[in-house]
Amino acid sequence: MAYTPTNPDRETLDPATPDRATARPASTRAAAVAAAALTVGAGLGLRAVAAGDVAKYGGDALYTVLLLTLVVAAAPRLSPARAAAIALAASWAVEFLQLSPVPAELSRRSTLARLVLGSTFNAPDLAWYAVGAAAGRLVHSALRRARRGTDTGAR
């Protein structure tokens, strides 16, 4: 973000910075929360209709998409690339944490912990998290471009 020369305490969007959202943060947050709910629904639906590797690895990709939506809800002005990178890093961190006994122990005690942390390290998950981050970034970028087109067309 750039500071305006007339008021250095007030942050404004710099139109020359392409990685900053032009949308209002409140509407971006609301859309991200709705996308998070849809992502959870997609994950539950996938588990209901698919089995084996499709359900497992599709769930891994959706896990990162969910994290991306939560990152956007928390920081709506992040670029799609930055939001995806943060979501991917968090997904990988959770997966590498599974190399320790902590997630497995927590997963034995709590269904929520099992859903969030998993229990066992699986190297192919790392690639599927990247797939989710890439897909989420593409959707986020497309939605941002569509919103910009709507915003500029209304003026």
Can you give the pLDDT of all 155 residues of the chain as single tens digits? 444 445 444 444 444 455 444 558 899 999 999 999 999 999 999 999 999 999 999 999 999 999 999 999 999 999 999 999 999 999 999 999 999 999 999 999 999 999 899 989 999 999 999 999 999 999 999 999 988 877 665 55
Query: What DSSP state is assigned to residue 23?
Result: S
